[in-house]
Amino acid sequence: MSVERGFKIAVCGKGGVGKTLIAGTMARLLAKRGFKVLAIDVDSNPNLYSVLGIRLDTPLRPIVDREELIEERTGAKPGGWGLFFTLNPRVDDIPDKYSLISPEGIKLLTVGISRAGLGCMCPQNALVKALIDHIVLDRSEIVILDMEAGLEHFGRGTARGVDYLLIIIEPTIKSLETAKRSLLLARELGISRVWCILNKVKSSEEADYIIKKAIEMNLQVKAFIPYDINVVTAELLGVSIFDYNKNSPFILAIDKLCQYLLNDWYKGK
């Protein structure tokens, strides 16, 4: 099989499991390997920029809050009632026009979340869906979506059409339960490659216990990321782990995960 395009990854999971840190670090490591990376922040409290090492001069203005853009592209004012709007708005120029650029050249598009309720077919959602669906990737391009915590985004269908869904879990039964529900919802969206990644592992006994529980719940843990004190120190110093220590166990584990994904996607090319 020959793979003519790069791929899209969505990173999801329970609150606080490490989605943003993992998504942002993957973006930086893939950019370092020479890939063009578009990082998309799909959280109502967007903070992916800081993991990417971007300093803000002006406050972030997510796409869903750009009323003029939404109206121009969909033909409807956000929040209007009973409106007709185009479900297939033009989106191809949006990443270039509205992205911030990180020191490694990663494009960051802050999309945000429409406040208009679960599953809503509102102009904002139409624009966001079209945006994520219609990004055309060449062979060396990768898109990484940092999702909001929990399961609501499945109802909005934001991640429909991604090539990989990474469900981040931590060593708690609650995060496994969220992962299980995410897996079922991902299948409904037709996402075929769903990988569970166990983060914040403190010991092999802990990992073994969680893997056993995951197997009982039909979840397959594909990779581990250790709990790393370097991450904590970096955070206290106000720098990202990538800038603090590129040889830290966290960074090395994320680099291995990137290699694993690349091998999987480009295998048999």
Ligand X SMILES: Nc1ncnc2c1ncn2[C@@H]1O[C@H](COP(=O)(O)OP(=O)(O)OP(=O)(O)O)[C@@H](O)[C@H]1O
For residue 5, give both structure tokens. Answer: 């395009």
Question: What secondary structure, in 3-state letters, does 191-241 show?
Answer: CCEEEEEEEEECCHHHHHHHHHHHHHCCCCEEEEEECCHHHHHHHHHCCCH
Task: Decide: is 20 part of the binding site for Mg ion (CB under 5 A).
Answer: yes
* Closest separation in Å from C-beta 90 to Mg ion: 29
* Residue whose CB is less far from ligand X, 232 or 237: 232
Could you say which of 6, 7, 8, 18 contacts ligand X (CB under 6 A)? 18
Could you say which of 169, 225, 254, 257 contacts ligand X (CB under 6 A)? 225
For 215-249, give one letter per residue: b (16+ CB within 10 A) or e. Answer: eeeebebbbbbbbbebbeebeeeeebbbebbeebb
The region of 27-35, 58-66, 94-102, 226-234 touching ligand X under the rule CB under 6 A is: 226-234
Task: Decide: is 156 part of the binding site for ligand X (CB under 6 A).
Answer: no
Q: Which does 141 bind (CB under 5 to 8 A by kind): Mg ion, ligand X, none?
A: none
Q: Which of residues 38-57 bind ligand X (CB under 6 A)?
A: 43
Beta carbons of 146 and 48 less than 8 angstroms apart: yes
Task: Decide: is 124 part of the binding site for Mg ion (CB under 5 A).
Answer: no
List, in order, residues 6 or more apart from 82 with CB less than 8 Å away. none
Q: What is the binding site for Mg ion (CB under 5 A)? A: 19-20
Q: What is the binding site for ligand X (CB under 6 A)? A: 13, 15-21, 43, 149, 199-200, 225, 227-228, 231-232, 235, 250
